[in-house]
Structure 1
Amino acid sequence: MPRFAANLSMLYPEHALVDRFAAAAADGFEAVEILFPYELAAAEFATLLKRYGLHLALFNAPPGDWAAGERGLACLAGREAEFQAGIQQALAYAQALACPRIHVMAGLLAAGDDAEAARQRYIANLRWAAAQAAHLGLQLCIEPINGRDMPGYFLQGQEQARALIQAIAAPNLRLQMDLYHCQISQGDVSTQLRLNMASGLLAHVQIAGVPARQEPDQGELRAEHLLALLDELGYTGHVGCEYRPRANTRAGLAWLRPWQPAKP
């Protein structure tokens, strides 16, 4: 049976962030994930997790200036010091929040950028970051993101991600597979999921419907098949519910109810 994590950045928009913990717990979630936890002090975040009996499955390292359109620093020229400072901040939060893994965003390439130079920077930065995380027993993840939602994103394909992880060769660097991004970027989601599981690299899965990133209850990414496939393949990690509810979050969770453990 898959284990689910409520994405607190996208679910429960009807509540303030500090109230989303209670809402997730009330809906039967035992885990949460979040894009960026940094608007709360780590101590406050940890208190909310403990109060509602939740654990944090995943969050992102600082991505640069998000409001200005930046989407990660790992492949960008001249941003190495900022990248390293962001990783140190993320590692401190991970320790304080007992979170086992951090997603490191790659960044955007502009037209005319040297793709090979960006690849070499990315590899060097991820090797450094993975070494820092390894000292603390933590895992880093990379995630292909589709170029429709995030034009110019350096890492878009599952094959590219697997090749980069193999090139970086850090034991604690793993793959985060968002089924929504995979469907838009390249399709053939079931095959890619099988390949990722066979590679031994898959650490975290996220789910959403297409084409509008809403509940996975209709269209090409209906949850029934994909969740059953995860069970068949022996996936034991979390499935992050990273989607934008059509309306009320709780009402939209009907797709999830058959997959939640029965209450005692």
Structure 2
Amino acid sequence: MIRLAANLSMLFQEHAFLDRFAAAADAGFTGVEYLFPYVHSPEALRTALNENGVEQVLFNLPPGDWAAGERGLASLPGREAEFRDAVIEGLRYAAQLDCSRVHAMAGLLPEDADARTQAEAREAHHATYLANLRFAAGEAAKAGRTLLIEPINTRDMPGYFLSRQDQAVAVLEAVGANNLRLQFDLYHCQIMEGDLIRHLERLLPHIGHVQIAGVPERHEPDIGEVHYPAVLERLAALDYRGWVGCEYRPAADTRDGLGWGRDYGLQP
């Protein structure tokens, strides 16, 4: 069975953030995710979840200075102490929101480096990434949470350290933590690699969360080059038990664009 979660950072922007929980529930969503919870108190978010009967399924750990262009801390040499603080803060919110999954964004490689410097930077980022993920997975395990990593396409996010599925699987295997899983975003994978159904079949044992969006414009899943009915049918046949996050930018009003989700319980 496909269970859809509304990404409240992208959907229902017709409403103030805390009102989006009600809008999502009214449209038939039973789970919600978003990028970051930290501008709101966990008490306010917990109230929004409880009042609307939806489950918090995912959010990201603090990513550094997002407004300044930072996109995560997990692979950044010299920022280990800040990353550890981010893990503790993210898990504090996860406990209060009863959220089982948190995503650690990897961060960006340095810009404008020559090939040699870039290779050296990648090695340093890789070593830092593994060490930080071991720490984060350990803390998450103590808290009964799953830690996720996500390959993000380098068209939308140039320089992002983690961009391909095989790279992510190698990291999972190197860290070796049972609660470290793959956040498989079909939009990012289609842009970087394609062959979505075969990727799902091969990677299912590693997957802890799935996200969808139309390609190439990141609008509704029924817009663009990916035939999501076939992909989601195969995902259900594989007996995937997790959530599917709707992390897309509506082409117009959110509710008007939900017709694609009728077969999955949405109410346009």
Q: In the alignment, which of 186, 189, 192 is matched to residue 185 of structure 1? A: 192
- For residues 173 and 192 of structure 2, the distance between their equivalents in structure 1, rounded to whole angstroms, comes to 21
Gaps in structure 1 of 5+ consecutive residues:
none
Q: Compared with structure 1, are the counterparts of its residues 150 and 261 closer, same or farther at alpha carbon in structure 2 (3 Å cutoff)?
A: closer
- The alignment's TM-score, normalised by the length of structure 1, stands at 0.96
**Contact between 1:223 and 1:255, CA under 8 Å: does it hold in 2?**
no
Gaps in structure 2 of 5+ consecutive residues:
none
Q: In the alignment, which of 216, 234, 259 is matched to residue 264 of structure 2? A: 259
- Find the counterpart in structure 1 of residue 41 from structure 2: 41
**Contact between 1:144 and 1:177, CA under 8 Å: does it hold in 2?**
yes
Which residue identity does 1:123 align to in structure 2? Answer: L
SS of equivalent to 1:256: helix
What is the 5 A alignment of 1:18-57?
18-57=18-57
What is the 5 A alignment of 1:201-212?
201-212=206-217
- For residues 92 and 185 of structure 2, the distance between their equivalents in structure 1, rounded to whole angstroms, comes to 25
- Find the counterpart in structure 2 of residue 233 from structure 1: 238
Post-superposition CA distance 1:113-152 (Å, at most 9, x none): 4211110100000000100111111110000000000000
- For residues 48 and 258 of structure 1, the distance between their equivalents in structure 2, rounded to whole angstroms, comes to 26
Runs of 4+ in 1 over 2 A off after TM superposition: none
Q: In the alignment, which of 145, 156, 161 is matched to residue 163 of structure 2? A: 156
- Find the counterpart in structure 2 of residue 142 from structure 1: 149
- Find the counterpart in structure 2 of residue 215 from structure 1: 220
- For residues 81 and 117 of structure 1, the distance between their equivalents in structure 2, rounded to whole angstroms, comes to 16
Of stretches 216-225 and 201-210 in structure 1, the one that deviates more from structure 2 is 216-225
- For residues 219 and 12 of structure 2, the distance between their equivalents in structure 1, rounded to whole angstroms, comes to 13
Which residue identity does 1:9 align to in structure 2? Answer: S
- Find the counterpart in structure 1 of residue 99 from structure 2: 99
Post-superposition CA distance 1:5-56 (Å, at most 9, x none): 0000000111110110010000011100010011110011001100000110
CA RMSD of aligned residues (A): 1.1
- For residues 188 and 56 of structure 1, the distance between their equivalents in structure 2, rounded to whole angstroms, comes to 30
- For residues 69 and 185 of structure 1, the distance between their equivalents in structure 2, rounded to whole angstroms, comes to 22
**Contact between 2:164 and 2:189, CA under 8 Å: does it hold in 1?**
yes
**Percent identity, aligned pairs only?**
56
**Contact between 1:180 and 1:207, CA under 8 Å: does it hold in 2?**
yes
**Contact between 1:94 and 1:102, CA under 8 Å: does it hold in 2?**
yes
- For residues 208 and 11 of structure 1, the distance between their equivalents in structure 2, rounded to whole angstroms, comes to 12
